[in-house]
C-alpha cells in the first residue's frame, strides 16, 4: 500500500505541474476556427505528455490507510476509517443515526 500511495502522489505532482499547459493545448486542438497545422501541433504536444500527467490516472485514497476503494470524497477517508473515527466522536457533526 505504501508503494501505491507514492505512485499516486507522484501522479498528482505530475498532473499539477502540467495541468495548465495541457488544458491550453486541449483547447487549441478542439478549436475549429484555427488552422489545421496549429491544431495538429497542439495534438502532438498533448500526445507527448506522459500518461501519468492525466487526471484520469488519479485515484482517490484514504489519507489514513491509503485504501483506494470505498473512499468518501468529502472526508478523504475510507469507509472503514470513517466509521472508526465517527464512532469515537472524532469527526465533528457526524453521529450515528437513530430515529
> CA–CA separation, 92 vs 76, rounded Å?
15
Instruction: Please indicate, yes or no, whether residues 10 and 54 belong to a single structural domain of this protein.
Output: yes
Instruction: Please indicate, yes or no, whether residues 55 and 70 belong to a single structural domain of this protein.
Output: no
Beta-carbon contacts of 95 under 8 Å, excluding residues fewer than 6 positions away, are 86, 89
Residue listed under C-alpha cell 502522489: 9
Q: Which residues in the chain show pLDDT less than 50?
A: none
pLDDT of residue 5: 85
How crowded is the C-beta side of 74, counted as CA atoms within 13 Å? 4
Dump pLDDT digits (tens) for 11-22: 999 999 999 999
Instruction: Please indicate, yes or no, whether residues 53 and 92 belong to a single structural domain of this protein.
Output: no
DSSP one-letter code for 3: H
Instruction: Please indicate, yes or no, whether residues 41 and 84 belong to a single structural domain of this protein.
Output: no
Please name which of 49, 50, 45 lies closest in space to residue 29, comparing C-alpha atoms.
Answer: 45
And the C-alpha cell for 59?
485515484
pLDDT of residue 96: 82
Amino acid at each position: 500500500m505504501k508503494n501505491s500511495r507514492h505512485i499516486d502522489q507522484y501522479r498528482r505532482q505530475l498532473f499539477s505541474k502540467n495541468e495548465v499547459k495541457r488544458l491550453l493545448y486541449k483547447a487549441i486542438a478542439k478549436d475549429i476556427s484555427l488552422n489545421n497545422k496549429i491544431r495538429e501541433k497542439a495534438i502532438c504536444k498533448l500526445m507527448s505528455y506522459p500518461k501519468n500527467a492525466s487526471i484520469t490516472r488519479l485515484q482517490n485514497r484514504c489519507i489514513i490507510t491509503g485504501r483506494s476503494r470505498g473512499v468518501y470524497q468529502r472526508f478523504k477517508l475510507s469507509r472503514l476509517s470513517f466509521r472508526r473515527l465517527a464512532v469515537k466522536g472524532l469527526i465533528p457533526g457526524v453521529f450515528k443515526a437513530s430515529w
